[in-house]
Amino acid sequence: MLPVRPRPRPRTTAACALVVAGALAATGLTIVPATAATPAPGWSSAGWTDPSPADAFHRLATYPVYLNRPATAAESDVTVAEISAVSEDVRTFVHTDALARRIGFVDITDPAQPVGLGTLDLAADLGVGAHAEPTSVAIVGGYVLVVVDTSETFTAPSGALVVVDLATHEVVRTLELGGQPDSIALTPDTTHAAIAIENQRDENATPVGGKKGDLPQAPGGFLQLVDLAGDDPTSWGLRPVAFTQEGGAALPSFVAAGLDTPQDPEPEYVAIDPTGSTVAVTLQENNGVALVDIATAAVTSVFSAGTQAVTDIDVLKDGKIDQTGSIPATPREPDAIGWLDGTHVATANEGDWKGGTRGWSIFDTTTGTVVWDSGNELERLAVRTGLHNEDRAAKKGVEIEGLAIATMDGTPYAFVGSERSNLVAVYDVSDPAHPAFQQVLATTNGPEGILPVPSRDLLLVSSETDTPAANVRSAVSIYGLGDAFDEAAGTPQFPSVVSADDVAGRPVGWGALGALAPDVRDEDRLWSVTDAAYTNTRLLSLDVSTTPAVIDREVRITQAGAGVSFDVEGLAARPQGGFWLGVEGATGPGNELVRVSAYGGVLERVALPADVSAGLTKWGIEGVTTTNDDAGEHVFVALQRGLTSDPGGLAGAARIGRYDVTTQAWTWFAYPLEQTTVAGDWLGLSEVVAVDDDTLAVIERDKLNGVNAQVKRIYTVDLPSVDPAPGTVAPLTKSLAHDVLPDLRATAGWTQEKLEGLTIGRNGQVYAVTDNDGLADATGETVLLRLGSTAHVFGPAATTTSLTVSGQTTYGSQQTLRAVVAPVSGTADVTGTVTSLDGTTPLATVPVTAGVATTKVVLGHGTHALTASFAPAGEELAGSDGTATVTIVASGTTTTLTLSRGTATYGAAVTAKVSVVGATAAPGGTVQVRDGSKVVGTGTLVVSGRKGTVTVALPRTLTVGTHTLTARYAGTSGVAASTSSSARLVVSRATPEVTLTTSSWTVAKGARPKVTVTVTGATEAPTPTGAVTVWLGTAKVTTTTLVGGRTTVTLPKVTTSSTVKVTYAGSAGYLPATASHTLTVR
């Protein structure tokens, strides 16, 4: 069971193992480490290397040109883009459309968002006849130069150059060209144009003494020069350059060059050198190149393109990518041509009549010699990137037709187009003798027009194949060079899958990846398998630790030692070893499960139940997956469409079956298919994958591609907890897990139809792959999608978290919080953290180890609502919370009181030392010292550890007598109050000190001196009070009361010397005391 999926939220250099073995990982693989230096782009001993973003051509858009058709044209009408040009402001792209007899205009102001600007019809708008076809186009200033074939027969060829105002689309002038034209080229300063007048052969005509389609077929072709003097097209003129003598005889220079049929030169393609002085013209069927001086309109040189033998290529259409074949020395028969510099040209050796060498060459024009030839390089590139076209293996293979040369961002590039493998190879041609491969670009079908736009660092590729009935549509692919286009680039970039070399040094052949399965032993690997597009079914191992993924192993499926050809549409890797294959039959009975060993040998074949196979047409098994539990192994199969015998028929519910390997019993479920109203479209399943024990994921898709594609989705279904009764079918409810259509559109390429493979790797990542059908009615591009983690696609797996609390529950004690986290189902490793909270207050965050997170805490006094919140480390698991409640009681205390002395005289200093010890927590706060119930002193505890102490000075006013003292600790939150045992203090009366002072103790006779009496206690003791009596001699002078411990008395007149005596009567705190002093009279 899956939880509700949360809403969800890249190109590296590959260095991988290379070597293809005939079996498993262990069968003799050699791992070759990458070197320290970055390898050159392409394949090397370090694996596949992409160019850096600064040096890469990034795909920005793929624009189907039928979107730019006239309102009166049906979507199903054939519409193509062939040769193209761009306006001088590099904002408008113009292309020819020979099949629809139009030229099209496209706004490329934003190269990632092309916008159609309409078309011009050659008959209605250009007035050149209903049978006319555009063959090429160029732009000079504000004018479009449309090259048009107006021929009605091969024997009376004709053509025109129609000059169209780019802004108004009005025809300005039409120049008759005198023959059937092909390509056009402009000098760098746009003062001249050259047009190849091909006068092409009729492939159904048979010349005298020849075979059908042979040469010569008069009239011979020539070159037409166009002088573009000034800005007014009315002043432009033509200068034909004859390639035959009058009467049709061959020119001597053409004969001397060894051309096949020099009297019928068949000029095909033109290019003008960087100086604007020389035109190079390919003579395709004659396998030659002619050079023409523009100023004099003279042929200056003619040379043969020569022959090339090519080895280690596939030359048989037999359903096998067998690269042991070869072609003998064969005429190159070049089509497109381009100048690398002033003395070197490159040719696309397409072949037409007798030749074609599956590559491209570079010639030195001063000698006519080949300085470099690609040999089998492009054939191998097509094989390595999954673009090998087996249907063309016995003919011209990759068939290199288009070629363009341009310097962009300081680097001279050659762009070489494969008409049959739908790719453009990019080379750095800084050294004409040693071109360096840079990149391979995927295109749509039949790339012909290759248009570099150096001023904007753009490359536009027009593809000429358009088959509306098969949903193969002509399009313009737009690429941008450098970092500026990296962010807008499509992802994943092509190629997303390549192959390594086998033990013979040839790239592993692959294509039509219709299924995926994890490698049960290696989290960095997946398995795929070839389908009916190829004979001799093979398992293919993909290393997905690199980008692109690398196919570096293959295992041939055999029975009784002989290769077997299955239409495998489903693949499941068994944990026990080996695989289950889901084989689709041409009819119902041909559908079966096939169990094979790890080495590919067939071990078991399981037919579908008769009642199920009877309801199948050609749409049968499309996916297979397995689960294992205590009851054994179970194999699930997804049938692509509904059974004819089920409600709704083919468009009803698709069946998913479960085969119990132990009991050999089948259980069936009904998956509800989406519906479509698009004519010719239908929806079905193309894969099934077990997500967990009771959840399956399926791919449901439509039959549409390109901009029309609507349904490319991954759904999940939960299996019922109780199986349906025998003979019944249990309905399933589906939930959308992931819409893959945005991922496919994100490539900025053609949206592929056949999203067919889906799996969950052992690394927890989800992969999907498109089936390129071996390039049959498909662009051939394979898109391996890395959709993210299982949780990202299907939602995280649910978890449970439990929380327990251990330890003392007294304040100040330590408690242990133990959280246990586990997946609800399965055995996924639990990684992440647990945050403990007290209410909403975080306490701590700790990692989960082996499913457990432990936190030590000291909780405060009171009741606590605790939560343990699990946060997963990745997307694979969902978070969960555990709770617990605990009450923490207060810590007890013990208070003791110690007096500095047990007895003291009144007013003496006495201190009380109070100690408070907490049982489990430190006692903070204050204490009181009490005399009975009266507080006689307070103090704040000074805490050390769990003990607090304070010394309190007792008041000196404690009365004479016995005092029973106690210390009272008030307590705090979490620490309880306590009272000490009593301490006894006895206070007795103190002896005061009495002193007499006067201004002088010697006085004159008859004086009346003033005497001051002072009574004091101990230092800081209370001031004595009470009465004192003063005597002079034996006569009492007075009795008076002390004020502030003092009083002043005036003695009577003295006549003789006498003793002054004072008697202090005492008080409650002081004893009586006396003092005297002699007064001398003179």
Among residues 1026, 967, 961, the alpha carbon closest in space to that of 992 is found at: 1026
Give the DSSP letter of residue 793.
H
Do the Cβ atoms of 670 and 731 come closer than 8 Å?
yes
Q: How many CB atoms lie within 10 A of CB 316?
A: 12
HEC secondary structure over 869-917 = EEEECCCCECCEEEEEEEEEECECEEEEEEECCCEEECCCCCEEEEEEE
- The CA-atom distances, in angstroms, between 191 and each of 83, 230, 326 are 21, 8, 46
Count Cβ atoms within 10 A of the Cβ of residue 479 and give its class: 0-12 exposed, 13-18 middle, 19 or more buried: buried
The single residue listed with the structure tokens 């004192």 is 1028
Within this chain, domains 497-794 and 893-988 share the same CATH topology? no
| pLDDT tens readout for residues 896-925 | 999 999 999 999 999 999 999 999 999 999
**Are the CB atoms for 239 and 297 separated by under 8 Å?**
yes
| Among candidate residues 302, 298, 270, the one with its CA nearest the CA of residue 287 | 302
Q: How many CA atoms lie within 13 A of 795 on its CB side?
A: 18
How far is it, in rounded angstroms, from Cα 463 to Cα 1047? 129
Q: CA-CA distance, 251 to 267, in Å (whole number)?
A: 14
Which single residue is written with the structure tokens 């001031």? 1023
Sort residue 561 into left (φ over 0), alpha (ψ -120 to 50) or beta: left
pLDDT of 628: 93
Q: Which sequence spans correspond to the domains of the chain?
A: 497-794, 799-888, 893-988, 993-1081
Confidence at residue 36, expressed as pLDDT on a 0 to 100 scale: 52
Compute CA 969 distance to the chain's CA centroid, rounded to the nearest angstrom: 66
Q: Cis omega (within 30 of 0) on the bond before 70?
A: no
What is the second-level CATH architecture of the domain 497-794?
5 Propeller (2.115)
Burial 513-542 (b: 16+ CB within 10 A, else e): bbbbbbbbebebbbbbbbbbbbebbbbbbb
**8 Å CB contact between 557 and 539:** yes
Task: Give the position of tokens 């959280």.
Answer: 819
User: For 219-273, how does the pLDDT look when each residue is reduced to its tens digit (9 = 90+)?
Assistant: 999 999 999 998 999 999 999 999 999 999 999 999 999 999 999 999 999 999 9
H helix and E strand count, the chain: 5, 80
At the fourth CATH level, the homologous superfamily of domain 893-988 is Immunoglobulins (2.60.40.10)
Q: Is 112 exposed, middle or buried (0-12, 13-18, 19+ CB in 10 A)?
A: middle
Return the pLDDT at 115. 98
Residue 966's alpha-carbon distances to 68, 911, 912, 947, 987, in angstroms, are: 104, 13, 9, 18, 16
Q: What class is the 799-888 domain?
A: mainly beta
Query: Is the link from the previous residue into 955 a cis peptide, with omega within 30 of 0?
Result: no
**CB 575, CB 628: distance < 8 Å:** yes
Pairing of strands 549-556, 497-499: parallel
Tokens of 968: 């009272």
Of 207, 305, 225, give the one whose Cα is nearest residue 264: 207
Q: Which residues of 849-886 are buried (b: 16+ CB within 10 A; e: fewer)?
A: eeeebbbebebebeebebbbbbebeebbbbbbbbebeb
Measured in residues, the chain has a length of 1082
pLDDT (tens digit per residue) in 788-835: 989 889 988 888 999 999 999 999 999 999 999 998 766 778 999 999
Summarize pLDDT for 4-21 with one digit per residue, the tens. 333 333 344 343 333 333
Residue of 652, 660, 578 lying closest to 615 (CA atoms): 652
Say whether 449 sits in a helix, a strand or coil. Answer: strand
Strands (E), 128-221: 133-140, 143-149, 159-165, 171-176, 181-186, 192-197
The H or E element that residue 346 is part of is strand 344-348
Q: Give the Cα separation of 1046 and 1043 in Å (integer).
A: 5
Domain with residues 993-1081, CATH architecture: Sandwich (2.60)
* Average pLDDT, rounded, for the chain: 94
Q: How many Cα atoms sit within 13 Å of 601 on the Cβ side?
A: 6
Structure tokens at 893: 């205390």
CA pair distance 321, 384, nearest whole angstrom: 11
C-alpha to C-alpha distance for 55 and 36, rounded to whole angstroms: 20
- DSSP SS3 for 1044: coil
pLDDT for the residue numbered 825: 66
Strands 423-428 and 436-442: antiparallel
Phi, psi of 163 (to 5 degrees): -95, 120
Residue 1076 main-chain phi, psi, to 5 deg:
-145, 165
CB–CB of 577/557 below 8 Å?
A: no
The pair of structure tokens assigned to 797 is 């797996």
Which residues, including other chains, have CB under 8 Å from residue 124's CB and lie 6 or more apart?
Answer: none
Q: What is the dihedral of CA 213, 217, 219, 223, to 10 degrees?
A: 60
Cβ atoms of residues 411 and 471 within 8 Å = no
Exposed, middle or buried by CB within 10 Å (0-12, 13-18, 19+), for 799? buried
- The encoded tokens of residue 1005 equal 């006779």
Q: How far apart are CA 445 and CA 493, in angstroms?
A: 18
pLDDT at residue 11, as a whole number: 40
Low-confidence ranges of the chain (pLDDT < 50): 1-35
